[in-house]
Amino acid sequence: MDFLDIVSSILLLAGVFFGLSGAVGLFRFPDFFTRIHAASVTDSIAAILIIGGLLLQTSFDLNTAKLVFILLFLLVTSPTASHALAKSARHGGLLTLAESSPQDKQESAK
Amino acid sequence: MHIVKWAVVLSIFWLLLSGFIEPLLLSFGVISVVIVLFILKRMDRAENEPGQIGTSIRLIRYTPWLIGQVFSSAIHVTKLIWGSPDKVSPAIAKINVKDVPASSRVLYANSITLTPGTLSVDLDENEVTVHALHRSSIEELQEGQMEKKITGIWGENK
């Protein structure tokens, strides 16, 4: 039991670290698309680790099944939401950093 | 036939979520399952492609590998986050998905998005537009490891 608790707290702490990294990245990254990448760290690995840690805290009953469901739905819905955001930004005409920065340089060269 | 399958799946799902074995709540569960089945039946008339269940064994083979990929790329992105922001060199490219079975393309695009560092921006007939935090991730995708994994698992019966 103690061993499970230790593993679970390691998973939870790692999850918190990655969640925090995602939030920091959200502020540090330069443009919209790169910020989605930062948010997807929180979406994917932090969710997996935190729910994995919580799974070990349950006594393997109905709550375990519910947590597994939550994880499955998160793994399906969060990339879909990121994709929808990115797609609408792209179709709305937002340029990525790679596409917009060479133009800036050309303009400043003029 | 698939209505029966769905009835079983939905009942198990409802039982797992509720956990109460009381006549009143059980009857609520039965009512909600029947309503969903009724809607499913009506939707079959509108669309002739009944939703398939039974790909779960393939998903069980795929998910652990995907989670491994998520871990390695998340560590890579985390390094970029805490490192200096100048190292970020976003790139955008189109990746050919002709070889991926049509029914698995959404899964492929979603897997690309789920792994941190790559993001599928658009999905056309034959191409996925991918935005990546670093050019190397796009090269990795073009090498086609993930594509091979998906076509290996889902392409067998085509």
Domain boundaries, chain B: 2-46, 84-154
- Considering only alpha carbons, which residue of chain A is nearest residue B71? A45
> Which of B74, B85, B122 comes nearest A90 by C-beta?
B122
A18–B contact, CB cutoff 8 A: yes
B127 C-beta neighbours (distance < 10 Å), count: 14
Q: How far, in Å, CA of A11 to CA of A6, rounded?
A: 9
Q: How far, in Å, CA of A45 to CA of A38, rounded?
A: 11
B66, B121, B123: which to substitute to probe chain A, counting the most A Cβ within 10 Å? Answer: B121
Q: How far is B46 from chain A (nearest CA, A)?
A: 25
Task: Provide the residue type at B108 as one letter.
Answer: Y
pLDDT in tens, B5-41: 888 988 988 888 888 888 898 999 999 999 999 998 8
Q: Which residue has the higher pLDDT, B68 or A101?
A: B68
Residue B156, Cβ density class (10 Å: 0-12 exposed, 13-18 middle, ≥19 buried) = exposed
- To the nearest whole percent, how much of chain A has pLDDT over 70? 86
Q: How many residue contacts between A and B have a Cβ separation below 8 Å? A: 102
Distances in whole angstroms, Cα of residue B113 to Cα of each of A92, B5, B28, B109: 20, 31, 38, 6
The pLDDT assigned to B51 comes to 55
The pLDDT assigned to A51 comes to 92
A35, A45, A73: which to substitute to probe chain B, counting the most B Cβ within 10 Å? Answer: A45
Contacts of A37 in chain B (CB under 8 A): 77, 116-119, 133
- Considering only alpha carbons, which residue of chain B is nearest residue A76? B110
Here the tokens at position A43 are 């979406």
Contacts of B67 in chain A (CB under 8 A): 48
CA atoms within 13 A on the CB side of B73: 30
> Which of A34, A78, A91 comes nearest B88 by C-beta?
A34
Q: How far is B110 from chain A (nearest CA, A)?
A: 6
Question: Band of the pLDDT at A110, cuts 50, 70, 90?
Answer: very low
Q: Which residues of chain B have pLDDT under 70?
A: 1, 48-56, 85, 155-158
pTM: 0.79
| CB-CB contact of A69 with B18 (8 Å) | no
Asked: is B84-154 a CATH 3.30.1370 domain? The reply is yes
A45–B contact, CB cutoff 8 A: yes
Q: Return the ∠ at Cα A22 (arms to A8 and B118), rounded to 5°.
A: 105
pLDDT in tens, A43-77: 888 999 999 999 988 888 888 888 988 988 888 88
ipTM, two decimals, is 0.75
